[in-house]
Structure 1
């Protein structure tokens, strides 16, 4: 006798996710990601401010005691042993010396900080979930609002720069351009400050120290020279313009950092045709800060008037055929091994939006650039 079959179970499909959940999930995900980034920022700020206050107390203690050099050395050694025993690593005599130097280097900022005994106003760092977490809005420490916006590792590098204006420039640029420590070291080693200064007047140099590299006109993008050591090309080896161009494309991220702020890559070997002839621009970029095209031609040898004339044709074509009416005039940049100022001045009209700059395949000598900067300053005052 056959047993009656069990009633068949009907499968229920999983309920469809409401479309509103997608929006909610996106907002929550962004909030969590932003919070995690800013927690890291807060930790960095606390470390920097704590090290600043440790440095302050070491200096104040030294001022009350003997001023002999041996006293300072023994003080840091003994303090290091006590702190390491209680708190672990991070308080070596070298690190404590960095903290002391950190306070002495930036001591003019100490007047804006509160003392540790003052209470932290929690309402100043709390935000509603709908508000964006912006690092500058939550840089609150037990010592008050911090103007130190970089990590401790950044400041250790910055302390090696003796010139206050140069040091201020690299601090501002690190914060504005979001440089990591490795990039800060690279820009410092490539003498970015001196190279930018050689393309500016005296007021422009002072603005570098106060504001960093502010891009509001084509000249603000220029350096003297451009440094392309990251391409890995041997200065003494034989290479072609195509090799140079390919090396730039292979390391495009580094090249964009060397060019400066606001650059977007568009094309290589961009072709345009008229009168049945084909012409090719080596590299085409767009600068979103200046709202204009920047076209680059690469030259292995010294610059000639024919090179300048060709670039003038490229710029004219882009201005007349490519750029939009609300965009600014195209900038032409010739990167070459040698550029003679006289050839440039005699070939181009004064208002030409074309610039020729030399490039190096190795890190430049800081002493040589400073010497050139001093010569430039002396000539400017005559």
Structure 2
């Protein structure tokens, strides 16, 4: 019989290299679990697409009525009592899914890699195929969760992306100019700060720092927060950049100047000064030229274009919003479909709410 050494597991001295080996094993296990999860999700979405396509084909080619969906739901739930996802509402989503994405290649490459819950949001909230594909690809690329995807759709991110007024085409090489322009938005949405229209610049800055996670989400993938009131000493005088970021894809510093009023031409000159100082004092080997972003309450495009003309540093000017839009006018609100209207158009009975099919 083996004698007990008296040393409990985890208390004995570990051999050299054990910690690194353990870390590598943990990384392998996490990667394997992620691959398994993605594989299961892809199989599930592929199954839903095939079911939806067969329902669609039988209804269109053979003239089967809408009632077949309810019968199919009952039969599938009877055949697979412990398996969810086969309600009548979810089968209708499968049909809509197959109709929205008729090409198997797009399903495999993009939407098949998103959770079913995110696909439901894409179907429910977006009617234009190009917009739907834009958000699907963005969600996949940036790893959005389901709530983040909903937020980006409701804030009309696709219409804001790349809309800042810039001089990038003159101040940056073409490849970097295109990427930098795509990264900036107009307007930025900071409603999560809960600030009123009379908020001062310091309150805006403090709010953004306190909610830096939300700020980074609104800025987009690739931004890393470096600090606030970043100190620069130039000619024996002290200067401070409101917010400083580093962008991983652009490989450059991004200085942000906050303005609670409308854009003024002198704002561009001050930002040009900041960028010159950052490039001279803090730009690292391999970094690209620093970029400036002036965030203001409002801006006149023509004034901005004139102010940026002739400046050598790359600068963008965007507006921001700190308050939610006011309630819809009565006439417009009355023109929107009700929940009952939407349900009837989807052939859903009252109370038969679509299944989320899992969080995403």
Per the normalisation by structure 2, the TM-score is 0.77
Q: Within 5 Å, give how 1:10-29 maps onto structure 2.
A: 16-29=13-26
Shift in Å at residue 348 of structure 1? 2.7
Residue from 47, 69, 74 that aligns with 1:76: 69
The 3 A distance-change label for structure 1 pair 24 and 347 is: closer
> Matches of 1:151 and 1:269 in 2, distance apart?
40
Q: Distance in 2 between matches of 1:156 and 1:343?
A: 43
Following superposition of structure 1 onto structure 2, how do residues 189-208 of structure 1 map, counting pairs within 5 Å? 189-196=154-161, 198=163
Query: Superposed, which structure 2 residues align to 1:35-74 within 5 Å?
Result: 35-66=32-63, 71-72=65-66, 74=67
Q: 1:85 aligns with which of 78, 82, 88?
A: 78
Show the counterpart of 2:137.
Answer: 172
Q: In the alignment, what sits opposite 2:195? A: 233
User: Alpha-carbon deviation of 1:15?
Assistant: 5.6
Assess, with a 3 A threshold, how the Cα gap between structure 1 residues 348 and 59 changes in structure 2: closer, same or farther.
closer
- Give the structure 2 partner of residue 152 of structure 1: 116
Aligned Cα RMSD in Å? 2.8
| Aligned match of 2:182 | 220
Larger Cα-atom Rg: 1
Note the alpha carbon deviations across 1:223-276, whole angstroms, 9 max, x for none. Answer: 121111222224x4x321111111111111121121122111111001222334
SS state at 1:148 partner: helix
Structure 1 residue aligned with 2:317, among 342, 356, 359? 356
- SS at the partner of 1:300? strand
Distance in 2 between the 1:345 and 1:149 partners? 41
Closer, same or farther: CA 333–146 of 1 in aligned 2, 3 Å: closer
CA contact (8 A) 1:191 1:364 kept: no
State the SS of the aligned residue for 2:14.
Answer: coil
Residues 51 and 99 in structure 1, CA contact (< 8 A), matched pair in contact too: yes
CA contact (8 A) 2:257 2:294 kept: yes
Counterpart-to-counterpart distance in 1, 2:7 and 2:288: 61
Q: Does 1:339 align with 2:299?
A: yes
- Relative distance call for 1:162 and 1:12 in structure 2 (3 A) is closer
DSSP-derived class of the 1:31 partner = helix
Q: Shift of residue 190 of structure 1?
A: 0.9
Query: Which of residues 251, 261, 284 in structure 1 aligns to 2:211?
Result: 251
Deviation readout 1:81-117 (Å, 9 max, x if unpaired): 222223244222211100001011111227x99xxxx
Aligned mates of 1:303, 1:323 — CA distance in 2: 27
**8 A Cα contact 2:230 2:243, kept in partner:** yes
- 1:9-34 C-alpha deviation (Å, 9 max, x unpaired): x9989763222433332222222222
Distance 1:173 1:255 in 2: 18
1:316 equivalent in alignment to 2:276 = yes
Give the direction of change, closer, same or farther, for the CA distance of 1:303–1:78 in structure 2 (3 Å limit): same
Offset, 1:147: 6.7
CA contact (8 A) 1:195 1:224 kept: yes
1:116 equivalent in structure 2: none
Paired position in structure 2 for 1:370? none
Instruction: Tell me, in whole angstroms, the C-alpha distance in 2 between the residues paired with 1:241 and 1:146.
Output: 41
SS of residue in 2 equivalent to 1:224: coil
Which residue among 185, 188, 193 is the counterpart of 2:153? 188
- d(CA) in 1 for partners of 2:110, 2:269: 52
* 3-state secondary structure, aligned to 1:57: helix
Number of equivalent positions: 307
Structure 1, unaligned runs of 5 or more: 1-9, 114-138, 140-144, 201-213, 368-382
Which residues of structure 2 form unaligned runs of 5+?
166-175, 329-360
CA contact (8 A) 1:284 1:295 kept: yes
Say which SS state the counterpart of residue 113 (structure 2) adopts.
Answer: coil
**Are residues 186 and 251 of structure 1, via their aligned partners in 2, closer, same or farther at CA, if it must alter by over 3 Å?**
same
Name 1:371's counterpart in structure 2. none
